[in-house]
Amino acid sequence: MRASIQNLIKNSIFIECTLPNTEHSICKTKYTTAEDFCLTKSSDDSIAQIIYNNIVEYAIGEFDIDYNNLDEEQCRAIAENLKFDEDANYTSKLRYGFYGEVLLYSLLINLFSTDVLISKGYFYSPLEKGEPKGFDAYHLIQHDDKVELWFGEAKFRKDYKTPIDEVLSGFSKTTSEGYFSDNVLAIVKEKHNISNGRDIIDKLTPITQTWKKSVLINIAEELEKNNAEMVYPIMIAYQQPKRCNYYDGVKKCIDYIEEQFNSGKYTINTTFAIKVFFMFFPVDDVKKIKEQVIEWISNKEPLIS
């Protein structure tokens, strides 16, 4: 990621607190196995800038970009690797998933120091023109003796209940071994696009070699054999509820998730160890952020170099 964008994110998005938080009497979600993160921002405009300027690296991957022709690469990314139809009606444009996905990409790299395993844009088909299936981010963190596979999900909606419902309604599927296996196979199919940057493939090599040799992958066995861990970060970006302060808004999210948990409708359906956590990120006006990004795309606004 460009240093200029890293600095923009560093000066725009902050971790307000982690959950549980005793000072404000807010617990973590009942689904969380680690701790949750509550984020804040300097301004909505900075969030729009981050999304627009990070499209190219989210969609293509920083090691395949010609940084001497960045604006052309942005056009290529939008045409070949992103669901965005210039001729679509405005309502359809506002519903695209890339706003949240680019934001998640930015958060994972800058707040959690992840590396990109493979860019999500490589799963987009210009012929089908649909939202790419699977997780919204494929990242990893490599330690001395361990690798963490961060397969994330992003939701960016006006009402906080809508993204929470979308996440929880798919929980039994997205946390199943079959779903993880399907995503692994999709990555293997695009193996020529797996990132070769930094040192990320050192620990990953034995895992990907196994994936490439056989379609009969037992995720639980592969994770244990290679001292790897699956991490499932979930970003809930939403519009700050009216007449609520920051912490009351976060608490509304937690309370709503607890209601759904207590109903017994949504469960984690995994047969292997997985770390789950949420990121709660309120903004002032979701629609205006998306509208600004749409305007910049349409006008081919020059990128921050």
Q: Is the pLDDT of residue 115 over 60?
A: yes
Q: Judge whether 17 lies within some domain.
A: no
**Average pLDDT of 270-289?**
93
Residues 218-228 have pLDDT tens digits of 777 777 777 88
Phi-psi region of 227 (alpha: psi -120 to 50; beta: other; left: phi over 0): left
Average pLDDT, the chain: 89
Residues 160-202 have pLDDT tens digits of 999 999 999 988 888 888 888 888 878 877 777 777 654 555 5
Q: Taking a C-beta distance cutoff of 8 angstroms, is the pair 197, 62 a contact?
A: yes
Q: List all residues 6 or more positions away from 303 whose beta carbon is below 8 Å from its beta carbon.
A: 52, 53, 56, 70, 71, 74
Q: Judge whether 19 lies within some domain.
A: no
Q: Judge whether 52 lies within some domain.
A: yes
3-state secondary structure 41-108: ECCHHHHHHHHHHHHHHHHCCHHHCCHHHHHHHHHHHHHHCCCCCCCCCHHHHHCCCHHHHHHHHHHH
Q: Taking a C-beta distance cutoff of 8 angstroms, is the pair 31, 53 a contact?
A: no
Q: Judge whether 196 lies within some domain.
A: yes
Q: What is the pLDDT of residue 198?
A: 46
**Average pLDDT of 146-157?**
93
Q: Taking a C-beta distance cutoff of 8 angstroms, is the pair 172, 269 a contact?
A: yes
Q: Please give the share of the chain, as a percent, with pLDDT higher than 90.
A: 64
Number of domains in the chain: 1
Domain containing 142: what range? 3-12+26-299
Edge-to-edge strand ranges of the sheet holding 115-116? 13-19, 36-41, 274-283, 228-239, 147-156, 137-142, 115-116
* Cα(186)–Cα(236) distance, integer angstroms: 25
* Cα(123)–Cα(118) distance, integer angstroms: 10
* Cα(32)–Cα(220) distance, integer angstroms: 20
